[in-house]
Chains A and B, each alone.
Chain A
């Protein structure tokens, strides 16, 4: 007979605060909760009344871990709402920037957050003593992704130069080629990482689910495309509300997100399952070595899928750099935009010295737009409505971890009977490991707060 309660306050090595709460009585699971006591930040309310040139700067501040993804989703939503079309060069740079963030974020998760479990230690710090070569490799690999982001946005956390319609400043070909060299050199480290993860034994667990991700006809889509469900097929991004529903659940104030089939999974494993064919050759080889084949229904394998993706994004980044170098980089003329004050009211006539070659301000027409990109942890939606002054009147953001919450709880519930004969600390450890596999990023607390109800 199984009867116990356990709580793990502050699940560590995740980005944000999370609690696990489980109650089992007479072999019956009475309660499984993944709670998030992270302070609410009210970003959607903050967006209201602010002008379009500021929004992506604000949006990246939702999350320092996936600042580029928030910035990109935000720029795409603003452009969709205001009818701005970025140039092919801009799109290439945005894709390259997202690839860089994927690399650094996946390596952070694999080495800093998951690897301590593989070595049986509490953090990466003791590894610096016992396995210095592993820590140095982790630092080296992260740096490649980080440098790529710094080169394009000015810095990784909170990109500076990316604005609606383009970039204020672009890197020189020579800088791109330097990063290309580092990307080439990281193949050796990627091989070593595959070896490291091959040695890990992950729990054998199958939890067949609906997987949701972007899908693009020509590439492993992370910047644009359609929403693809493994169960119901494609939905255009602007129609996301027809596919997913945010709802407030009775035990929690976090809005859980469901499709018509219930909980679903987003993130590396979902992308891998949905878009396997689009992966690069060496990413597929790595998947083969790691025993990852689509469809994979084991959420613990999300970390493995992240490693496979890191292969892909490294190769893809090289391809994108080659394409940019071949095209040549032009500092494009930008439409005139000011900071706080909108393009409105200010004109080049009023400021003859103002950025001479730039085009006049955008003609703002009110409208609504949706921007969907793949953040490292899964599909990220920004949805804005602008008024005629270029100010936001309505905003909605749906972040990956929010979408995974219901799935995390369902998977914990399913997984529990498999481990409940173990000692309690081991059960807690296994559940923490399961949560960590999703790489939850709770700091994106746009509307992601759970509160314990005292009865």
Chain B
């Protein structure tokens, strides 16, 4: 029997689900080996009997917590996809202001009706078995992880920085161009897409296991960034990560 797969979206842009829909021929291949029972963006069926749950989006509303716990209970395997589900993503930028302030700015006097909690990755609420990182995920890595999972294998996800891939691509270093970049501490595997297209890395795949954040901070300081600017840069997608100790704790609101 084919394993049953369900897709669930939380707080995010739905770009990662669109990446799945955009798999093209690989999507047809995937449908040969799994039965998709729930994929709200693309189908009317709403099956609640599934083996593999694929989650995109961050946890950012009180109701999300119960919902993800129920999904975890049902699913044998839970896969988080994309920067929002794996890291909290850009949603976490709101975590550093008072929730009242944020809600009032966007919703005015209806602010009280918008329930929100600091955005966080799925793994901070329930155990996650596998992750496909990136903002958005890359189609090839999604296929790689899912096919490994179906075969009972462990997919190999790089644990070295983006810089290594950039060198292999002979990209001009962002720092040599006078820009700043989070590539030195960010997990590779993106086929250094952003630097290859001329833009800096803002860390969408999260940190490598032993990042030298102090050195990264030093480099950024040397390039003229103030501590405030460095923190702002780190928080582009890492706002939910418990890193760098006091840098994050001093005004984190929970």
Please give me the residue from chain B that is nearest to A49 by CB atom. B232
Chain B nearest CB from A133 CB (Å) reads 12
How far is it, in angstroms, between the C-alpha of A32 and the C-alpha of B41 when the chains are bound? 23
**For this complex, into which size category does the number of interface residues on chain B fall?**
35 or more
Q: Which of B121-129, B156-164, B171-179 contacts A (4 or more CB under 8 A)?
A: B171-179
User: Do residues B178 and A168 form an inter-chain contact, with CB atoms below 8 A?
Assistant: no
Chain A residues bordering chain B, tally (CB within 8 A): 77
Q: Which of B25-33, B71-79, B143-151, B241-249 contacts A (4 or more CB under 8 A)?
A: B25-33
User: Do residues A350 and B224 form an inter-chain contact, with CB atoms below 8 A?
Assistant: yes
A234 at the interface (CB under 8 A from B): no
Task: Tell me which residues across on chain A come within 8 A of B200, comparing CB atoms.
Answer: 338-339
User: Do residues A341 and B14 form an inter-chain contact, with CB atoms below 8 A?
Assistant: no
User: Do residues A128 and B232 form an inter-chain contact, with CB atoms below 8 A?
Assistant: no
Given contacts A139-B27, A341-B233, contact A39 B14 (CB under 8 A): no
Chain A, residues 300-343, CB within 8 Å of chain B (1/0): the string is 00000000000000000000000000000000000011111110
Given contacts A61-B90, A122-B43, A354-B177, contact A340 B16 (CB under 8 A): no
User: Do residues A160 and B193 form an inter-chain contact, with CB atoms below 8 A?
Assistant: yes
Please give me the residue from chain A that is nearest to B236 by CB atom. A54
How far is it, in angstroms, between the C-alpha of A348 and the C-alpha of B178 when the chains are bound? 8
Task: Tell me which residues across on chain A come within 8 A of B230, comparing CB atoms.
Answer: 340
Given contacts A128-B28, A253-B114, contact A339 B103 (CB under 8 A): no
User: Do residues B11 and A449 form an inter-chain contact, with CB atoms below 8 A?
Assistant: no
A135 at the interface (CB under 8 A from B): yes
User: Do residues B106 and A40 form an inter-chain contact, with CB atoms below 8 A?
Assistant: yes
Q: Which of A12-20, A203-211, A364-372 contacts B (4 or more CB under 8 A)?
A: A12-20
User: Do residues A341 and B225 form an inter-chain contact, with CB atoms below 8 A?
Assistant: yes
Task: Tell me which residues across on chain A come within 8 A of B101, comparing CB atoms.
Answer: 45
How far is it, in angstroms, between the C-alpha of A49 and the C-alpha of B10 when the chains are bound? 26
User: Do residues B106 and A248 form an inter-chain contact, with CB atoms below 8 A?
Assistant: no
User: Do residues A45 and B105 form an inter-chain contact, with CB atoms below 8 A?
Assistant: yes
Task: Tell me which residues across on chain B come within 8 A of A61, comparing CB atoms.
Answer: 13, 15, 89-90, 135
Chain A nearest CB from B190 CB (Å) reads 10
User: Do residues A64 and B13 form an inter-chain contact, with CB atoms below 8 A?
Assistant: yes
User: Do residues A443 and B225 form an inter-chain contact, with CB atoms below 8 A?
Assistant: no
Task: Tell me which residues across on chain A come within 8 A of B229, comparing CB atoms.
Answer: 340-342
User: Do residues B43 and A125 form an inter-chain contact, with CB atoms below 8 A?
Assistant: yes
Task: Tell me which residues across on chain A come within 8 A of B212, comparing CB atoms.
Answer: none
Q: Which of A73-81, A151-159, A282-290 contacts B (4 or more CB under 8 A)?
A: A151-159
Chain A, residues 229-245, CB within 8 Å of chain B (1/0): the string is 00000000000000000
B136 at the interface (CB under 8 A from A): yes
A residues contacting B by CB (< 8 A) are: 10, 12-17, 39-46, 48-51, 54, 57-58, 61-65, 67, 108, 112-113, 116, 122-125, 128, 135, 139, 142-143, 146, 153-158, 160-161, 163, 167-169, 248, 253, 336-342, 345-346, 348, 350-351, 353-355, 358, 443, 446-447, 449, 451
User: Can you spell out 26 A-B residue pairs with CB atoms less than 8 angstroms apart?
Assistant: A12-B40, A39-B11, A39-B60, A39-B116, A40-B103, A40-B114, A41-B60, A42-B116, A45-B102, A63-B13, A65-B18, A124-B43, A154-B194, A154-B197, A155-B193, A157-B19, A161-B199, A337-B179, A338-B223, A339-B200, A348-B178, A353-B176, A354-B177, A355-B178, A447-B107, A449-B107
